[in-house]
Amino acid sequence: MFSLFRKKSPNLLALQQLERIEAEMRRIGFWTDTPPQLEAIESGQVFPTFEQWLQCVFLPKAREDAKKGKSQKNYELGLQAMREYDYHSRIEEAHPLMCLLRDYDKLGKNHGSRN
């Protein structure tokens, strides 16, 4: 029987959280229309900022994994975001983004993430 209260899959929850992260990055101006190329980052030619890494590396790979049904990797994004925004620069507008990244980490821990 069809249920309106069907539990959402971990991958759907991850995809929804990734959309929230991107939306928040756009809202606070941490998204760029001209990011470095992934190939340049992976080859070591470019050393991305945390925001560029989120946009160019993390979000595409995490979305791809979620769409393929793979387990969520343990990036420890909340901790890294705290290092980037709270400890050093205390960027107030980044606090909602930090919370979204921590929540993404929690999703993986609640659903058996892998390293």
Q: Domain locations in the chain?
A: 10-110
What CATH code would you report for 10-110? 1.20.1440.40
Question: What are the beta bridge partners of residue 73?
Answer: 114
Phi, psi of 73 (to 5 degrees): -80, 155
**pLDDT tens for each residue of the chain, 115 residues long:** 455 555 567 788 989 999 999 999 999 999 999 999 989 988 999 898 889 999 998 899 889 988 888 777 767 777 788 777 765 456 778 888 988 988 988 887 776 544 4
Which of these, 59, 34, 63, 64, lies nearest to 46 by C-alpha position?
34
Distance separating alpha carbons of residues 105 and 43, to the nearest angstrom: 27
Half-sphere exposure of 40 (CA within 13 A, CB side): 10
At 111 the pLDDT is 61
